[in-house]
Amino acid sequence: MKDLVRPSRLAPGARVAVVAPSGPVVEERLQAGLDLLRGWDLDPFAAPHVLDRHGKLGYLAGTDADRAADLQRAWCDPGVDAVVCARGGYGAQRVVDLLDWEAMRAAGPKVFLGFSDSTALHEAFAVRLGLVTLYGPVAAGIDFVKNARAQEHLKATLFAPETVRTLSSHGTALAPGRARGVTLGGCLALLATGYGTAHTRSGARGGLLLLEDVGERPYAVDRALTQLLRTGWLDGVAGVALGSWARCGPYEELRPVLADRLGGLGVPVVEELGFGHCDGALTVPFGVTAELDAETGTLTLDVPALR
């Protein structure tokens, strides 16, 4: 697995498009997020359909065609420097097949930021565009608009990425060791359900896999990990870093599942690295070489997330 292309870091005045490829957006949170970005001397704007609601499927922010059009228009606009998801939820899987990937590749690299359901897009950006992406707090997310730690780490990643090259775990090692590889991952359920599609990698061989999820019971986490094991998707993975498991049951019940399913890989596994659906979530890049040290509980990037 090779490093992907790193987009340029942002500078004051950068134009930022906020899109909603997944679930419906709360207007008050969106406005709060836009105000926060303006406070960073950025120039954010909401894409035309961000506040739409799908007429029959209330868990979607507008129709598939409109959500895809917003994302593609923003990405292909030469005046836009970054595309930021408004929230997660569900729906990104329905968008990836509607995008013109040749046109998006021709538009060149820029920052893409999203998490949770946008895992489907992170994989697609890696497979189709060969691009480093950022997995972190989203523009209309509660953590982004209310948590100073999440805000500060994201801001540093966007403007001064060399200052946040090491992420530290608050947990202990589920499996010992040290490993190097290219970062990839996201929401476990999206990776498991994306397997076999044209927009998801055929495996994590040689990579450092960053995993988290939300609202899945321990048996469902077991099911998704078992699916990845059975398909061979985890064959040859160099190491695993685990983020948050919000609303996935008591952690003392989930931890044995993670140890059971991942411990047999024979690679270092670090828990509680502080990314995902948690307060003060860190922003992590996918597509750069890093070192995972289970003894110190750290993930250290070889290079900054952005150029």
116 is catalytic: yes
> Per the residue annotation, which of 116, 118, 169, 244 is the catalytic one?
116
8 is catalytic: no
User: Is 217 strand, coil or helix?
Assistant: coil
The three state secondary structure string of 138-206 is: CCCCHHHHHCHHHHHHHHHHHHCHHHHCEEECCCCEEECCEEEEEEEEEEHHHHHHHCCCCCCCCCCCC
User: Is 264 strand, coil or helix?
Assistant: helix
**Residue 181 and residue 302: Cα distance in Å, rounded?**
10
Residue type, 43: D
Residue 189 CB-half CA count within 13 A: 21
Q: CA of 286: how far to CAs of 72, 170, 176, in Å?
A: 21, 21, 23
User: Is 61 strand, coil or helix?
Assistant: coil
Instruction: Give the count of beta carbons closer than 10 Å to the beta carbon of residue 231.
Output: 14
295 is catalytic: no
Q: What are phi and psi of 16, to 5 degrees?
A: -125, 120
| DSSP, res 92 | H
> Per the residue annotation, which of 118, 122, 199, 212 is the catalytic one?
212
Question: Which ranges of the chain does DSSP label H, i.e. alpha helix?
Answer: 27-39, 64-76, 92-95, 101-106, 119-124, 142-146, 148-159, 188-194, 218-231, 251-262
Catalytic residues: 116, 212, 277
